Structure 1
Amino acid sequence: MKLNIYILVFGLMVSACTTSEDKTRIISVLEDTTEIDFIAKPDATTIQNYYNFDTNLWQSANFRFGRINSLMHNTRQQVGIPSEQALLGNELERQELVTGFQDDIENILQKSKETKGHKYSSIWLPLVKELKVLQKTANSNTTVYLFSDLQENSRFFSVFRVADLQLLEGEQEKVLALFLEKSKGIQPTDTIEVVVVFQPQTIDQDERFQKLKHLYAQLFSKLGIRIKFVANLN
């Protein structure tokens, strides 16, 4: 009987000590700032809640943020909090660390509102670069929130060039090939999900977005990464 108790206690200790080996929760936010009138914008409280610290206080967590525009789309800000072992940790001290992490998220998103953007930008290239960075983190649970209308404007493709629009509408396989050519190095994975957040305001906006939404759905199907499209974050 005593041996069984020792085994039970040892098992509980091992379970508590393996908390640090849980998957790192990563949230990456890419905000397209080429337009100032987007309805859906990153909200600090919503994003903070996605970490579920109320049920997993001791987890490892990272937050990344980048603005997408013609001059600054490679700029990234990152904050994080390491995992701890619940059995050995101090809950009050841990809560303070979590609160500090959440405050950092709020500060980063608040500062992003104070910086002006530019009119046109590539959306695909910054997204591809971010995915390559995120895939380097092993044992993670990652969500990329892309706040954008997906209006691409780069050298390899632009929705503002008539010839490219004609390709998108009539020969989408060629457009797929163009985008996939810029995606080399991305590996299929079930640990990353991309969530495109955009709410059209007009019928014209919706029609243009639907074409690009279809393109992105095909692209990510070929890349082997999950993607979904939402009008806002709840």
Structure 2
Amino acid sequence: MALNFFDQFMSPTYMGVPLIALALTMPWILFPTPTSRWLNNRVLTLQNWFIGQVTKQLFLPLNPGGHKWALMLTSLLLFLLTSNLLGLLPYTFTPTTQLSLNMGFAVPLWLATVIIGMRNQPTAALGHLLPEGTPGPLIPVLIVIETISLFIRPLALGVRLTANLTAGHLLIQLIATAVFVLMPMMPAVAILTAVVLFLLTLLEVAVAMIQAYVFVLLLSLYLQENV
């Protein structure tokens, strides 16, 4: 058992070499590579159908100008989804539990949406900072509040993904530790706790998938406001 429950979130190293690069590369290796054949096999067909459906749902409300982001956001979704799910396996490391990595994704992409809005439609982009029909005395206060909310968006993106995955991993480890401790003393209680652990694991699989989708969905909504 780990001396500290938070040790599982430390970036692992082997002989002084950080293994986070391997953890970032593994998701791409696991995806089947498309072939030059006329007909794909079942796995590739299912993968292409899944990617097509998700991309369609993400970009359905966007203007045609935002469709240029399809490849980038779909790749980000697949990377986050695979990283989150692989992190649930034993003896693995979840890169998306690192706030620095999530902020590295959130800040540049959010900033790109803001720059696109300022370049293409500066009046509409600045208009988001002040709702129409605002009373005169409230204008300075609302501008400050809307500006703060605008700059909090990337922080909320990164912290939401990090906090959800970290909390789920901690709960799984806490309940698994309780199962091992209770097994010799109270087997019946340990079995019930193991059932709770199994249900929590299923919930964490759903959370890993949903959080990856929510991260990319919010980015697409930010993009929708600026295209």
Q: What TM bracket, shorter-length normalisation? A: under 0.3
**Higher fraction of strand:** 1
Q: TM-score, normalized by length of structure 2?
A: 0.27
**Higher fraction of helix:** 2
With a CA cutoff of 8 Å and minimum separation of 6, indicate the structure with the bigger relative contact order. 2
